[in-house]
Amino acid sequence: MVARRGSRGGMPGDEANGRDPRRSGSAVAEFTAFRRFEALATTHALMIAADAVMLVALASTVIGLDANAARTKVLLYQLTTLAPFTVMAPFIGPLIDRMRGGRRLVVELAAFGRIIVSIALVMVLDSLLLYPVALAALVLKQTYSVSKSALVPLVVETEADLMEANAKLGVVAGIAAAAAAAPAAVLQHFSAKATLVLSAIGFLVAFVSATRLPREVIARTRANRDEIHELRSPTVLVGASAIVLLRASVGFMQFLLFFWLRGQGAGKWFGVAIAVGAASTMLGNVSGPRIRRFMREEVMLICGLGFVSLSGLFCAIAGGRRASVVLMGTVSFGAAIGKLAFDSIVQRDAHDANQGRAFARFESRFQLAWVLAAIPPVIWTPPGEVGFVVISAIAGFAAVSYSIGMRAVHLGRPVPEPISRRAGRRIVRKIDELRTPSGGIGRPGGAGTPSAGLQRRTQYLPPEQQVATRRGRGGRATDRERRPRQG
């Protein structure tokens, strides 16, 4: 016989037994959230551990191959990694979000695909086919990362726990990778193929664990007007642009060190840099929530960007292999701190938006930035010191532009429009001019209509000033704008 819940969320008889029904219902919710988070944390730990085992297996083999001979193949198959983030993210992603258990299915397929890839690597370990197969593993890894980000809001009790949950997942990933790398290194002395078989077993266990993930629908409907408005708020847009540049620095740095260190005959230093980067990422995830207690998210993000920029400059002056390892650690630490700060900004300023859908979309953009930034050092690998200056310049530009944008928001001024959006608007305007000689004047919603111009001018203003500007031009406030903001 199934027990029937009381009207206040507790079980019948709670009041007679001296228990508060609200406290009982809260305990059930906390236990459910704990079980869901435990399932996601276990799956994430197994995926990261198996990935670390695969990295150990490929380390000596990849370092032993001729990078210059395989550079064209690496570039070709690296371009194919753009497909999941340019096609799947904007088109297939929303369909997956509206499907029951869609993101869980993607995690299961990613784990199953990694099993196939691990077995395939055993067969092509000594040939140049190793590169495309390894890059297929990279695509599956990035795809899993996007779906994992969408699942995190489903496994926490309240949205206020998102930052702490992401930090815990980062710590779990670091511990799992370190714990799996040690036995994998021992097994690697006997056979690299045996290590790959161990990674396949790890992904198989992760696949089984993924079946315990929640099957809820991420987003039953399309994003409404209010959600789009919040996700395009100045603080979110400027923060996302900063994280794009920060994630691009990570991708550029990893492939720069891979080809540059191997060109110097110091391939083993690349493994040291990756290990230091993983440890720094875990340190950033541990310290992020604690740093948040003493400073705002915007200050955290600026400090992370400034730390990476200054480190890049100092490492460029020092030069050498040790400097590359240090810079890898600082870039990874800054990226971890910045990502936690951005997650908190989205949670704060877009609290009415669907968090799972929002984080999946943002993560797709960040992964795309990582892939695009990794292409230049594959085409032409600059000297290490030059690459360090590039890292410093990217992070420095991100820090300055983010500071300018946040100051504009604080003063109530329009936020400088991103270069990419400005270029896209010019392209649309040119197309409209080619279609209509009058430049689109009079066409409803055209680029030349006054309403479209007003919308563009107010898009990067703070929300309150957007409302005031529209009212001043005769526009009507929406129901959400009339409603007083809670909290």
Residue-wise pLDDT for 236-273, tens only, equals 888 888 999 999 999 899 889 888 887 777 667 887 88
Cβ burial, residue 81 (10 Å; 0-12/13-18/19+): buried
The answer to whether the beta carbons of residues 206 and 43 sit under 8 Å apart is yes
Residue with tokens 């203003």: 461
The answer to whether the beta carbons of residues 206 and 110 sit under 8 Å apart is no
State how far the Cα of 448 lies from the Cα of 438, in Å rounded to an integer.
9
Residue with tokens 């993924």: 210
Question: What's the one-letter identity of residue 474?
Answer: G
- Supply angle C-alpha 241, 243, 249, rounded to 5: 110
DSSP state for residue 155 in the 8-state scheme = G
Tens-place pLDDT, residues 386-399: 999 999 999 999 99
pLDDT of residue 411: 74
3-state SS assignment for residue 429: helix
Every domain of the chain and the residues it spans: 24-215, 229-416+460-476
State how far the Cα of 77 lies from the Cα of 98, in Å rounded to an integer.
31
Tens-place pLDDT, residues 346-366: 878 777 777 677 777 888 788
Class of domain 229-416+460-476: mainly alpha
Token representation of residue 238: 């400027």
The radius of gyration of the chain's CA atoms, rounded to the nearest angstrom, is: 25
The answer to whether the beta carbons of residues 417 and 345 sit under 8 Å apart is no
pLDDT of residue 89: 59
Share of the chain above pLDDT 70, in %: 68
Token representation of residue 143: 């795809």
User: Which of 46-60, 148-162, 282-296, 412-426 shows the lowest per-residue confidence on average (mean pLDDT)?
Assistant: 412-426
The answer to whether the beta carbons of residues 374 and 251 sit under 8 Å apart is yes
pTM above 0.75, yes or no: no
Share of the chain above pLDDT 90, in %: 18
State how far the Cα of 326 lies from the Cα of 273, in Å rounded to an integer.
8
DSSP state for residue 223 in the 8-state scheme = -
**pLDDT band at 317, cuts 50/70/90?**
very high
The answer to whether the beta carbons of residues 325 and 273 sit under 8 Å apart is yes
- Whether 229-416+460-476 and 24-215 are alike in CATH topology: the answer is yes
First to last CA, the chain: 42
State how far the Cα of 140 lies from the Cα of 146, in Å rounded to an integer.
10
Tens-place pLDDT, residues 410-468: 777 666 666 556 655 676 677 777 766 544 444 444 444 444 444 544 555 555 555 55
Of 50, 31, 32, nearest in space to 208 by CA: 50
Topology given in CATH for the domain delimited by 24-215: Growth Hormone; Chain: A; (1.20.1250)
State how far the Cα of 332 lies from the Cα of 334, in Å rounded to an integer.
6
pLDDT of residue 10: 43
Average of per-residue pLDDT values in the chain: 76
pLDDT of residue 83: 57
State how far the Cα of 236 lies from the Cα of 234, in Å rounded to an integer.
6
